[in-house]
């Protein structure tokens, strides 16, 4: 029998440090009377995250979307950029806000990331960059993508919003490509309520990025360029410092839940997990746990499973459905046509994000898996 939970279970819950710890941190801000513009908390957080992510340089932002807009500006990206339709709306919207045309490329059915083997066919004389997403924290084929970029003289920007802490061969994910964007939104594993960062290998980029996020103001007498307000404030940075202290335990708990999910769900026909072929992922981000449901083999469609779980008070999510290529603002683009994106269209109908956060009891995960098994058996 299906178990109905007494209280609703959501896909995620924000990681909340003890309130006393946060108020103590806020007292430091009150004492300093410095609320934003590269204050003490900001400087500390920037240093800690640079170290945590194992990257040469970092710049904090008020959110990930503004950070990604600035990334495009700082590299002077224009014309066309090849990207994925299987992502959060911010990814293609950032291109639009930069007056750049997004070109949608199909995805790999195992990693759910942009299919590096299909990028070359989409390059035109207008192409200036590749904007790829490490979907659910699983790394893209960063080596193949860099090879293509080098051959055609393109920049590479990664939307690493899900990939906080991901490492390949013990190298921080932010060391790949020209710039990587991290999001510190409340729903992300590490968060600053709202926030984000740009990571980059080329430390020469930092002065320009830091100018661009502060209106281009160099000093009291000089405004260098048309910048924007992308600054992270001291309250955000303080919350981030407190969340950082809770991160190791949260990751450990999510690692355990991931194992429980795998152990129970792998036995059910028609359920597939994401896989990253040919890349040595030495550390995972544990941002989301998503499965694919093959309707024929499982016996019910993803939408049916979603509806049934909802009646059990389990609120799963269809990440990422609809595809960006189906939004009214993009669907008229030639690259958005379904014939160009067969895999992305299939995956968008199969994908389901299951509840995944440290506070979720193991017994609840077992019960969720049990419910999914029953939905399969009830065909």
Ligand X SMILES: *Cc1c(COP(=O)(O)O)cnc(C)c1O
Quickly count: other Cβ atoms within 10 Å of residue 300's Cβ.
18
H/E run at residue 245: helix 234-265
User: What angle, 0 to 180 degrees and rounded to 10, lies between the N-to-C axes of helices 234-265 and 40-52?
Assistant: 30
Nearest position to ligand X, beta carbon: 64
Residue 312 vs 353, nearer CB to ligand X? 353
Instruction: Examine residue 286 and tell whether it contacts ligand X (CB under 6 A).
Output: no
Minimum distance from residue 185 beta carbon to ligand X (Å): 4
The span of 61-69, 104-112, 250-258, 362-370 binding ligand X (CB under 6 A) equals 61-69
Instruction: Examine residue 12 and tell whether it contacts ligand X (CB under 6 A).
Output: no
Minimum distance from residue 288 beta carbon to ligand X (Å): 9
Instruction: Examine residue 63 and tell whether it contacts ligand X (CB under 6 A).
Output: yes
Rounded to an integer, what distance in angstroms lies between the CA atom of residue 357 and that of residue 352?
15
Cα dihedral 55/58/64/70 (nearest 10): -120
The span of 39-47, 62-70, 102-110, 170-178 binding ligand X (CB under 6 A) equals 62-70
Q: By rule CB under 6 A, what string of x and - marks binding of each residue 174-203 to ligand X?
A: ---------x-x----------x-------
Residues 111-130 binding ligand X (CB under 6 A) are none
**Residue written as tokens 């499973």?**
305
Q: Are 69 and 98 in contact (CB under 8 A)?
A: yes
Rounded to an integer, what distance in angstroms lies between the CA atom of residue 274 and that of residue 357?
18
| Options 59, 60, 64, 336; binder of ligand X; rule CB under 6 A | 64
Torsion angles phi and psi, residue 294, rounded to 5: -85, 110
Instruction: Examine residue 29 and tell whether it contacts ligand X (CB under 6 A).
Output: no
CA atoms within 13 A on the CB side of 89: 7
Minimum distance from residue 103 beta carbon to ligand X (Å): 18
- SS3 of 147, please? helix
- Kindly report the three-state secondary structure assignment for every residue of 330-367: CCCCHHHCHHHCHHHHHHHHHEEEECCCCCCCHHHHHH
Residue 92 vs 299, nearer CB to ligand X? 92
Minimum distance from residue 5 beta carbon to ligand X (Å): 26
Cα dihedral 50/234/356/349 (nearest 10): -90
Instruction: Examine residue 227 and tell whether it contacts ligand X (CB under 6 A).
Output: no
Q: Are 199 and 179 in contact (CB under 8 A)?
A: yes
Instruction: Examine residue 236 and tell whether it contacts ligand X (CB under 6 A).
Output: no
Residue 185 vs 251, nearer CB to ligand X? 185
Minimum distance from residue 320 beta carbon to ligand X (Å): 8
Quickly count: other Cβ atoms within 10 Å of residue 44's Cβ.
16
H/E run at residue 128: strand 127-133
The span of 28-36, 88-96, 322-330, 368-376 binding ligand X (CB under 6 A) equals 88-96
Q: By rule CB under 6 A, what string of x and - marks binding of each residue 132-171 to ligand X?
A: -x-------------------------x-xx---------
User: Count of residues binding ligand X (CB under 6 A)?
Assistant: 14
H/E run at residue 290: strand 289-293
Minimum distance from residue 371 beta carbon to ligand X (Å): 27
Rounded to an integer, what distance in angstroms lies between the CA atom of residue 89 and that of residue 71?
17
Residue 105 vs 271, nearer CB to ligand X? 105
| Options 12, 41, 59, 65; binder of ligand X; rule CB under 6 A | 65
Task: Give the interface with ligand X as residue ranges (CB under 6 A).
Answer: 63-65, 87-88, 90-91, 133, 159, 161-162, 183, 185, 196
């Amino acid at each position: 029998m299906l178990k109905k939970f007494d209280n609703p279970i959501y896909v995620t819950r924000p990681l909340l440090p003890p309130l006393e710890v946060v108020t103590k941190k806020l007292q430091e801000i009150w004492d300093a009377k410095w609320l934003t513009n590269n204050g003490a908390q900001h400087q500390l957080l920037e240093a800690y995250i640079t170290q945590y992510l194992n990257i040469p340089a970092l710049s904090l932002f008020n959110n990930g979307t503004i950070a990604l807009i600035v990334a495009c500006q700082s590299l002077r990206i224009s014309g066309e950029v090849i990207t994925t339709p299987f992502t959060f709306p911010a990814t293609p919207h950032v291109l639009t806000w930069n007056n750049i045309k997004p070109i949608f490329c199909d995805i790999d059915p195992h990693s759910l990331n942009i299919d590096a083997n299909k990028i070359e066919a989409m390059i035109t004389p207008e192409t200036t960059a590749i904007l790829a997403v490490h979907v659910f924290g699983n790394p893209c084929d960063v080596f193949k993508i860099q090879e293509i970029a080098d051959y055609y003289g393109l920049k590479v920007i990664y939307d690493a919003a899900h990939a906080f802490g991901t490492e390949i061969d013990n190298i921080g994910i932010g060391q790949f490509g020209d710039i990587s964007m991290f999001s510190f939104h409340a729903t992300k594993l590490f968060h600053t309520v709202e926030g984000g960062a740009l990571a980059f290998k080329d430390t020469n980029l930092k002065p320009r990025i830091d100018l661009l996020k502060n209106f281009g103001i160099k000093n009291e007498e000089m405004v260098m360029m048309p910048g924007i307000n992308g600054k992270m404030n001291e309250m955000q940075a303080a919350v981030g410092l407190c969340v950082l202290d809770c991160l190791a335990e949260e990751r450990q708990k999510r690692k355990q839940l991931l194992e429980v999910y795998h152990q129970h769900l792998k036995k059910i026909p028609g359920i597939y997990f994401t896989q990253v072929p040919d890349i040595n992922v030495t550390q995972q981000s544990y941002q989301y746990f998503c499965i694919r449901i093959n309707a024929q083999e499982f016996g019910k469609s993803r939408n049916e499973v979603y509806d049934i779980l909802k009646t059990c008070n389990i609120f799963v999510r269809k990440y990422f459905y609809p595809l960006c290529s189906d939004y009214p603002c993009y669907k008229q683009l030639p690259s958005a046509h379904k014939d160009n994106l067969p895999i992305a269209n299939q995956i968008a109908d199969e994908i389901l994000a299951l509840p995944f956060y440290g506070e979720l009891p193991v017994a609840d995960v077992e019960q969720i898996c049990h419910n999914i098994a029953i939905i399969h058996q009830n065909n």
